[in-house]
Every structure is written in structure tokens, then in C-alpha cells.
Amino acid sequence: MSTANPGGGKGGARRLVPSFEARMLLPALLLLAAISLFPFFYIIYMSFNEVSLIGGVDFEWVGLENWVEMFTDPNVRNSWITSGVYFIATVGLEMVLGIGIALLVHELVWGKNLVLSMLLLPMFVAPVIVGLLGRFLVDSTYGLYAWFLESTGLITWEILGSKTSALMAVILMDVWEWTPLITLIVLAGLSSMPQTVLEAAKVDGANYFQRLRHMVAPLISGVVVVALLIRSMDAIRYYDIISVTTNGGPADATKVIPIRLYETAFRFQELGYAAAIGLGMLAFSILVANLFMRILRGQERAR
Amino acid sequence: MRRRASAAGAMGVPGGLSRRDFLKMSGAGLAGASLLGLAGCGEQSSQGGGEGWKQYSGMTLNFISENTAPTSAIAANLKPFKDLTGIDVKINQLELGALVQKVSLDVSSGDPSIHVIYADPYQVLAPFSAAFADLNDFEGDDSLPSVKKGFGDFIPTQLAAAGRFEDEEALYALPYDCPTMVWMYRKDLFEKYGDKMSQDLGFDPMPSDKITWDQYYEIANWFNKNASEVEYGSGHQSKQYDSLMCDFSNIMWSYGGDYFENGEQVGKIGTEDPGASLLDQDGAVEAATFYQKLVGISHPGSTSWDWTALDEAFRAGNIAMAPNWHEFAAGIEDSNLGGKVGYTRLPGGPTRSASMWGGTGLGINGELNEDEQRAAWLFLVWATSPETQLSGLKSNVGGGTPTRQSVYEQPEVKNATKPPTDLPNMLTYDAVSEAWKPENIGLRPKIEKWNECNTVIFTELSKMLAGDKGPEQAMRAAKEGFDRANGA
């Protein structure tokens, strides 16, 4: 908190009086502390304890046991690997498709708003509904996609019953829902580009791909990194769709780390261990966020 | 530390005089009781012994349940309870996993809000038994209505499996539903192809408990090759989920395998210390080997089907037969397959024919205050009464199957076991009544760490079915997972 120095000057009496701005911020800061800092430190404390729930919460200090288990548990390691595959696939596909669609929509002369409205629809569906819808569509008994893929001979096996296709299916469900968000963010970046510069380049004879590479890409790189950051944070804690489609199976092929966390906390009642896994997820999120923020700052400096 | 709630034992109406005592002492009470009898006590006495139904009028109870047919039937028929007691009931129906989570949070909150708990014996009762009230205290309380016909009217194996944990005396839940796995098959296809199949296979293929699992495999394979009406002979609920453990356990028990030493007692009463797992023993490994072979020739959808999806596939006519939960019979008889399906006990193995029982009880949250627990008891007595169970059986929203012997003895219920019938679940009665006998029932372990062990077994089986591991390797890994969870 900042302090004021009413005496002023060298040697003046310094008093620890919060500035006006700090006093105005104080209620909000206290509220923030209550709803985020307290649970944060509580979870850290939980991760060093075995927690029993019955008859009220009860802690038993176990030191680093939960942390050692987290780093040595092969199941948790496998879930991190699955999360990594999922993370790279979803964020990668969403970025490529989202940017591509945004560039196409940006070039539309008429009907842009209508196309954009339709493109954004998946984003407004709750993820759990996307999961239920996806499960319905690929179900071998009544699913439209399952019927189509089998009729055409493209996929003749059970989509959610095979390891690779199940993982692909949940990745594609996420891509279907969240690619529009990337499109929207990138479109905002494209709309804010200085049109005069682009037109000047066009007059100078630069073709579309030259303009894209040397002008559009540098101009929208900032918003692309922001989009990447937002989706990355979401992808790390991805839970809903897998929970209602495969619940981690088959053979743990879709058991990403949030599913493992839920299972540990609410099925096995091992809240201390789950706290350690959750903090591991938080550390990973901070790491990824810092990475992207560094890239963003680097771009700003380069300009 | 384990804490037992014994709220009702020390309870009574203000002044230390029970309502029953008061009525005994009062001539006016007798007269009043006569008048009340004309107005509505007939209904009260039909629900259970004793008075005191109205003492918590105006209260609201929260009942949390898995989204099952019996609860749907109760939800559609709550008015009689409201009329009887003046108590409102809010029902929250959830998927079982979400229910476990809600119960765990509620009993730990210090401010419990759930009164009546759908107490799955394995996923709720065993891990949270210390949070349940002992129902003996309420049953022995003169100021409360008692269970009509007593606890002895419940099917004994179900009373123990659904209601007890570790202790032969304490009772934490009253049997509420009793889904049991039976062999469901397309009667029309067996009639059409029976002779040909018999010639080709060299045995009478008509489903019965005399058929072995090996013969079941041969029948399924025969359908795969010869019947155009269905896509595959057999289907299974082999998704990486609870359903996979259920499906496999039938076969494991029939091959003489078990989860723990003294498996019958561990299943019926339960224990906190089950000891080392037996999943790496010959019976379990042989069963796993067979199960892998059987699922290999079954509908490929099997590895993504839970019990609901399997039932949908069966109803859609995709498979000729399946081990399925008997309570699905009502829906099947109401579908295009009505009248075309037969129900019998599951095939046998080298040791026996075992049928997984998946029943559940209703329990009372022992963290509540006394009055709330007593009001919840009223709901338990009503919801598990013969009248309510019969009403559930007749319900047009699916209904359940009774857990009381007296209901099955009623003429209209007995007559419903043969088609045509208005109570389609009763078509399975011949199969399930045999399955519930102590020597046939299949009870999974009732242990505190069951949720973890369950996850271990269905995950290892899923890995085996996906080809990641062989049966022996999968069973060894499952045993290690069980032992780690139980500290054995």
C-alpha cells in the first residue's frame, strides 16, 4: 500500500497514512483477499494435510507426502501427458482455424454480420451441453455423425470406444465450441488495422500474401497472443465435455488432469492430495501465462 | 474418529410425554382417534405402525437421489405424503457421481441441508457411514411411526447389503430399490433360430441358468454370423465406468474369483479392513481372459456403453442379448420390443451363476438436528412402505421393484409375473427372486475405499479391453491398486 508524506521534504516526519487512492481501493482489495487469497492459502495448507470431511473438516499434518505422491504417481504423470496432447491439439487447431476464418470473414463485402453471428453461435452453448450434444451425435445407436461415418466407411469402429478416436472426438468438440472466440478476437484486431497503410501497400503492388505476411501478421500479433493466452488458460482446466462424454476413458485415453483432480477430490475424498494436484495445475497455468505475457511484451518493445 | 448420531433415542415430545402415552391416558384422545379414523387414519395405519405422522407438519425435507425410476415414481406421487404428514419434500435427482460429491460436501459443511440420502451402499454408505443416523433408534421410539411389518419384511440379503456397514446390529438405510443383473434376450429370435442354432452348436441354446458363459459366447458368435435382424449377438456395458465393474464381476464370481477373502461377508456387511485383494488369483484372471474374448466378439459399441447406452442399443434392436439390469424391463416392454424379450438368470461358470445386485437404501443425515432427523424418518417409513412400493411398481414413469417380501406375495403382483401384464418389471421376477438368494447374489465389496478400488478395477479392465494390457497384467495391476488403496 502506498504511503503519504504530509511533512514533505527531507527529514520530514513520515507517517504510514494510506493515500486517498489506496483507501478507495481498500474495500475491493479486502473483498478480493477474502474470495481468492484466503482460499489460495487454505489450499496450500490442505496440500500438506490429510483431510477428513465427516463431521466437519478435520486436518492431519502429513508434511510433503501429498507432493511426493504427486510427482511420483504414474497415473498423474499420464494425465499430464494427456493434458499436454489435448492442450497442443485444441489450442493449435483453434488458432489456425480461428485466424483463417477471421481473415475470410474480414474480406467479406456484404453479409459479414450475418456470417459472424452464425459463426459465434457455438460459443454461447454451455460446454456441458456441447458434450451431451457431441455424445448424442457420435453414439452408435442413434448418432447422426456415427451413422454418416459408418455409412461412408470413414470410421467403422465406435468413436468414443477407441482410444485415439475418443481423444480426437473430445478435442474436436472443444475446437467446435471455441474456435469462434479466436475468430472474434482476431477480427477485432483486423478491424483496428490502419486501412490507409494497407491500401498504400496495395497501390505499391504488394499482393494479398505479401500484405498478410509483412503487414497484417505483425499488426495483429498482439491480439493473437491475447487470444492464445485466454484459450490456454481454459484448455488447462478443461473438464465439462470429457466428463459427460468419456469420463476419462477408454483406458484413461482422455483422462486429462482436471478429471483426475475431480476424481481424487470428490470420488476418493483425498482432498489433501487433490489440493497438491490443483496447485500443480495453477503453477502450470502461471508458467504458460508468463510465457505468453513475455512474448506480448517482446512484441510491444519491438514496435 | 467415528461419530454416531443417536438423535431419536433421547427424543420425546415436550414434557417427556409421548404422543402415544398422551392418547393412551386421554379418553378424549380415544374419541378423537375414532373420529380421525373416519377422516384419514386409515391411510396412516396403512403406511406404518404408530401415530405421530403430523408432528412435523409445515417442515420441508430435502431428498437427494440418483436419477432412477423409483425416485421418479416417488416424485410423481408425493401428494399422499404431504397429505399424511403436512411435510413438503424437495427431490434433487442427480447422476450418481454428482450425488456422491454433494453428499460429501453436505456432511462436512457443518450446516447440513440434505435430510434424506439415497445411500448407495458402496459409494455413499461405506465411506460416509459415520455420518448416517442409526435407524434402530427411530424404530424403537414410541413417539414415531414404525416400519410397517418391521425390518423383517425386507428381503434379508438386501436389508444387510443396503443398510448395514461393519456392524450386524446398526442399520443406516432401508432398502429402497434393487436393480439386479439378469440375462435379457430376444425371445423372438431364439424361437426363430433355436432349432438351427441347436443343430449347429450341439446344445439347447434356450437361455436359462443351465447355460454356461462359454455357451453364451458361442450363442453370441452364432448370432453374429447367422442373424440379419441384429448387428451383433451380444452387447455389454463396458465403458470405463462403474458399469464395467458390474458387468465383469458377474463373470468373475461365476469363475470362482472374488475381490477379497470372505467376499460374501465383505459384500453383505462390509468392513473397514478387507485385507489383501485376490484379484491376481486364478479365478479372477481366467474370468478376465474370458471377458476380453467375449467383449471382442460383442457389439463394438460395448466399450463406450454404460448401462443406459446398452439398454438403448438393446431396445433399438442392435443386439440379440445382454446382461442387463432387471429394472430396464419396464422400458423394454413399453418399446417396439414389447413381448419379444425374455428374462432369465445370468449364465453360470465353473463355480456358480452370480448376479450383480445394485440396490440402494434410504438413509438419514445424522448431522441434522433431532427434529429434522425425526421428520426424515417419517419420509423413510412412507417411501419404503408396501403401499408406496406397490404404487411405484405400477407407476407410469418407470417405477421400481419392491424390496419387501410382502409386496411380492400380493395376488395382483404374483399374477403379473406372466405376460400380458400391467407391471412389466414383474416379468423378471422368476429370474431375480432366484438371484437374490444368498448363494446366487453378487455383492461387490462394501469398504470405505470402494470408490478408489472401483476406479482401479474398471480402469484396468478398460486398458485390457483396449489392448494395452493382457488379462493377467491387468488383474495384477488391479490387485496392486486395491492393496495400495486399502493399505494392505
Q: Where are the domains positioned within chain B?
A: 8-27+45-178+359-409, 181-356+427-486
Residue of B nearest to A57 (CA): B108
Asked if the C-beta of B292 comes within 8 angstroms of chain A's C-beta atoms, the answer is: no
Mean pLDDT across B226-254: 97
Residues of B in contact with A247 (CB under 8 A): 239-241
> Distance (Å) from the C-alpha of residue A51 to the closest C-alpha of chain B?
11
pLDDT in tens, B106-132: 887 778 999 999 999 999 999 899 999
Residues of B in contact with A53 (CB under 8 A): 104-105, 107-108
> Distance (Å) from the C-alpha of residue B462 to the closest C-alpha of chain A?
5
Number of domains chain A is built from: 2
| 8 Å CB contact of A263 and B100 | no
Tell me which residue in A54, A248, A249 faces B107 most closely, judged by beta carbons. A54
CA dihedral (B385, B391, B396, B401) positive or negative: positive
pLDDT in tens, B58-102: 999 999 999 888 898 899 989 999 999 999 999 999 988 889 889
Contact B309, A132 (CB under 8 A): no
pLDDT, residue A11, reads 46
Look at residue A303 and tell me whether its pLDDT is greater than 70. Answer: no
pLDDT, residue B43, reads 44
Tell me which residue in B97, B239, B301 faces A249 most closely, judged by beta carbons. B239
Look at residue B22 and tell me whether its pLDDT is greater than 80. Answer: no
pLDDT, residue A296, reads 83
Percentage with pLDDT > 90 across chain A: 72
In a shared domain, residues A36 and A145: no
| 8 Å CB contact of B108 and A57 | yes
- Hey, how many other C-beta atoms are within 10 angstroms of the C-beta on B170? 18
In a shared domain, residues A61 and A121: no
Tell me which residue in A139, A246, A267 faces B455 most closely, judged by beta carbons. A267
Instruction: Answer yes or no: is A13 within a domain.
Output: no
Asked if the C-beta of A159 comes within 8 angstroms of chain B's C-beta atoms, the answer is: yes
Is CATH 3.40.1360.10 the classification given to domain B8-27+45-178+359-409? no
| 8 Å CB contact of B463 and A160 | no
In a shared domain, residues A27 and A129: no
pLDDT, residue B51, reads 72
Across the beta sheet with B181-186, the strand order is: B232-234, B319-325, B181-186, B341-344
pLDDT in tens, B403-444: 999 999 999 999 999 988 889 999 999 999 999 999 999 999
Mean pLDDT of chain A: 90
Look at residue B11 and tell me whether its pLDDT is greater than 70. Answer: no
Percentage with pLDDT > 70 across chain A: 94
> What's the grid cell of residue A72?
511420483
Fold agreement (B8-27+45-178+359-409, B181-356+427-486) = yes
Residues of A in contact with B462 (CB under 8 A): 249-252
| 8 Å CB contact of A268 and B452 | yes
In a shared domain, residues A170 and A232: yes
Asked if the C-beta of B308 comes within 8 angstroms of chain A's C-beta atoms, the answer is: no
Query: In whole angstroms, what is the distance from residue A170 CA to residue A166 CA?
Result: 6
Mean pLDDT across B310-330: 96
Look at residue B29 and tell me whether its pLDDT is greater than 50. Answer: no
Mean pLDDT across B445-458: 95
Which CATH number is correct for B181-356+427-486, 3.40.190.10, 1.10.357.10, 3.40.50.720, 1.10.1660.10? 3.40.190.10
Burial B204-214 (b: 16+ CB within 10 A, else e): ebbbebebbbe
Residues of A in contact with B465 (CB under 8 A): 250-251
Asked if the C-beta of B463 comes within 8 angstroms of chain A's C-beta atoms, the answer is: yes
Tell me which residue in B128, B301, B463 faces A251 most closely, judged by beta carbons. B463
> What's the grid cell of residue B70?
423409483
Q: Find the angle CA(B189)-CA(B195)-CA(B200) to the nearest 5 degrees.
A: 105
CB pairs under 8 A between A and B: 104
Q: What is the DSSP string of chain A?
A: --EE-TT-STTPPP--EE-HHHHHHHHHHHHHIIIIIHHHHHHHHHTTEEEE-TTS-EEEE-TTHHHHHHHH-HHHHHHHHHHHHHHHHHHHHHHHHHHHHHHHHHH-SSSHHHHHHHHHGGGGS-HHHHHHHHHHHH-TTT-HHHHHHHHTTS--S-GGGSHHHHHHHHHHHHHHHHHHHHHHHHHHHHHTS-HHHHHHHHHTT--HHHHIIIIIHHHHHHHHHHHHHHHHHHHHT--HHHHHHTTT-STTTT--HHHHHHIIIIIS--HHHHHHHHHHHHHHHHHHHHHHHHHHHHHHHH-
In a shared domain, residues A48 and A92: no
Look at residue B7 and tell me whether its pLDDT is greater than 70. Answer: no
| 8 Å CB contact of B239 and A247 | yes
> What's the grid cell of residue A183?
475468430
Tell me which residue in B302, B455, B465 faces A263 most closely, judged by beta carbons. B455
> Distance (Å) from the C-alpha of residue B110 to the closest C-alpha of chain A?
5
Structural element, H or E, at residue B355: strand B355-356
- For β-strands B360-364 and B173-177, DSSP reports them as antiparallel
Q: How far is CA B202 from the centre of its chain?
A: 37
Task: Pick the residue of B108, B302, B464, B468 with the most A CBs within 10 A to test the interface with A by mutation.
Answer: B108
Residues of A in contact with B97 (CB under 8 A): 266-267
Look at residue B239 and tell me whether its pLDDT is greater than 60. Answer: yes
pLDDT, residue B47, reads 56
Q: Find the angle CA(A152)-CA(A119)-CA(A105) to the nearest 5 degrees.
A: 105
Select, from the ranges A8-12, A170-174, B263-267, the one with the highest average predicted confidence (pLDDT): A170-174
Tell me which residue in A57, A158, A263 faces B303 most closely, judged by beta carbons. A158
In a shared domain, residues A208 and A191: yes
Tell me which residue in B316, B367, B451 faces A268 most closely, judged by beta carbons. B451
In a shared domain, residues A139 and A186: yes
B133 exposure class (CB count in 10 Å sphere: 0-12, 13-18, 19+)? buried
CA dihedral (B133, B137, B143, B144) positive or negative: positive
Look at residue A207 and tell me whether its pLDDT is greater than 80. Answer: yes
Residue type, B445: P
Instruction: Answer yes or no: is A12 within a domain.
Output: no
Tell me which residue in A139, A157, A269 faces B300 most closely, judged by beta carbons. A157
Contact A251, B458 (CB under 8 A): no
Instruction: Answer yes or no: is A15 within a domain.
Output: no
Q: Within 13 A of A302's CA, how many CA atoms are on the CB side?
A: 10
Domain coverage including residue A287: 70-302
Residues of B in contact with A249 (CB under 8 A): 239-241, 459, 462
Look at residue A56 and tell me whether its pLDDT is greater than 90. Answer: no
pLDDT in tens, B365-394: 998 999 999 999 999 999 999 999 999 898
| 8 Å CB contact of B462 and A252 | yes
Residues of A in contact with B461 (CB under 8 A): none
CA-wise closest residue to A95 among A29, A186, A170: A186
Residue of B nearest to A251 (CA): B463
Burial B254-267 (b: 16+ CB within 10 A, else e): bbbbbbbeebebbb
Look at residue B359 and tell me whether its pLDDT is greater than 80. Answer: yes
> Distance (Å) from the C-alpha of residue A159 to the closest C-alpha of chain B?
8
CA-wise closest residue to A134 among A244, A262, A51, A25: A244
In a shared domain, residues A48 and A132: no
ipTM score of complex: 0.86
Give this prediction's pTM: 0.87
Asked if the C-beta of A70 comes within 8 angstroms of chain B's C-beta atoms, the answer is: no
Mean pLDDT across B322-336: 93
In a shared domain, residues A218 and A126: yes
> What's the grid cell of residue B163?
443398510
Contact A232, A302 (CB under 8 A): no
Residue of A nearest to B466 (CA): A251
Query: In whole angstroms, what is the distance from residue B151 CA to residue B404 CA?
Result: 9
In a shared domain, residues A157 and A46: no
In a shared domain, residues A93 and A224: yes
Residues of A in contact with B455 (CB under 8 A): 263, 267-268
pLDDT, residue B189, reads 98
In a shared domain, residues A107 and A252: yes
